[in-house]
Amino acid sequence: MNKHKGSVVVGMSGGVDSSVSAYLLKKQGFDVKGLFMKNWQTEPGEECTSEIDYKDASKVCDQLDIPLHKANFSDEYWDNVFESFLSEHKKGRTPNPDILCNREIKFKSFLHYAEDIGADFIATGHYAKLINEDNHTYLARAVDDFKDQTYFLHEVNENQLKNCIFPLADLTKNEVRKIAADTNLPVAKKKDSVGICFIGERNLKDFLGRFISLKPGDIKDNNGKVIGRHNGSALYTIGQRQGLYIGGIKDMQELPWYVYKKDTLNNEIFVCQGVDNPLLFSNSLTIKKIKWINDINYNLPLNISLQIRHQHKPIKALLKKQDDTYIVDFSEPIRAITPGQSAVFYKDNICLGGGVII
């Protein structure tokens, strides 16, 4: 990206990706500052991983000789990310809080903070690329296909992206690790964080049960026969195998069971046997609203590449409008289409946007 050297605030998470991003920007001649974002308010007695991460970010910034700011966005996170997360679970859907966090916190609250302290740009350790042409800023896949995070960024619009830098766009994860090791960064061997940040190592049932009512209900097979009990339908997602505790059903094969449908109204989940059971596959999905990254009037129907989850192999598909909804027809069946997750659209490795599956 051909940007004049100026001041940039890097979102420092205490991980290897953001640390290497800060190192590379300083090496390129930018005036670099770090910002550690506290997005979740832990309760007394809870293990606070954010304090560990903040210490790691401080060590990195000390070594790179750059200042580290700290901002508490936990109120904004609760109102704009967590409340939506709970609301979707109550409706029986499976939301992706990382997508909302990027839109509402990392590319809104963080961006406003950087503007307030007079920075020219923000930067993050996301694996994604920005392309500037035709008076637009396009979001494109990173070089590292496996790590590419454009799926999580599809609700960030080009006005938010145009003053952003992704230093890892042309690097693989292995190369990032090597840079960290070669420069003796203290987080060079730190493991990547996985899962939902505010749940951490906790059991989902125990965590969700503090905020929403979880009632046991029936598990039914594809013939409507009750074959087990669950701990609350909100805890289960389409395609899930773990946590069903079904086995030894009379006249049934010893094959694993998978959730293929949920009835939230009646607090029931439906299961079928076999990883390739046709009940787990769909030929299309429906979306109520699309968030486009660029202000471009795309003519529908539109041939796209479709991705329904992070690291899902893109599938050729056709996007079309039908009344007040959007339908996406697949070129081949897709397993475990999950309401609440996002369907994201691509064209020649450019991320166009996407929407929440209903």
Look up the CATH number of the domain holding residue 18.
Answer: 3.40.50.620
Length of the chain: 358
Asked if residue 175 and residue 307 are part of one domain, the reply reads: no
- Shared domain for 318 and 333, answered yes or no, is yes
Cα–Cα distance, 39 to 306 (Å, whole number): 30
Single pTM value for the model: 0.94
Count how many domains the chain has: 3
Which of 242, 260, 275 is at the close of a domain?
Answer: 275
DSSP letters spanning 99-110:
HHHIIIIIIIIH
Please give the Cα distance from 169 to 343 (Å, whole number): 23
Q: How confident is the model at residue 131 (pLDDT cuts 50, 70, 90)?
A: very high
CATH number, domain with residue 249 = 2.30.30.280
Is the same domain home to 243 and 308? no
Residues 28 and 164 in one domain: yes
Catalytic residue positions? 101, 197
- Structure confidence by residue, pLDDT tens digits, 303-315: 999 999 999 999 9
CA pair distance 241, 200, nearest whole angstrom: 21
Q: Has residue 4 got a pLDDT over 70? A: no
* Strand stretches in the chain, DSSP E: 7-11, 31-38, 68-72, 121-123, 129-133, 136-140, 164-165, 217-220, 226-230, 257-263, 268-273, 281-287, 291-292, 302-307, 315-322, 325-335, 342-347, 350-356
Full domain range(s) for residue 344: 281-356
146-168, pLDDT tens digit by residue?
Answer: 999 999 999 999 999 999 999 99
**Is 188 part of a structural domain of the chain?**
no
pLDDT digits 0-9 by tens, 65-123: 999 999 999 999 999 999 999 999 999 999 999 999 999 999 999 999 999 999 999 99
- CATH code at position 294: 2.40.30.10
Q: Is residue 205 part of a domain?
A: no
150 and 297 assigned to the same domain: no
Each as own residue / partner, the long-range contacts of residues 244-249 (CB below 8 Å, 24 or more positions apart, any chain) are 244/219, 244/271, 246/219, 246/271, 249/221
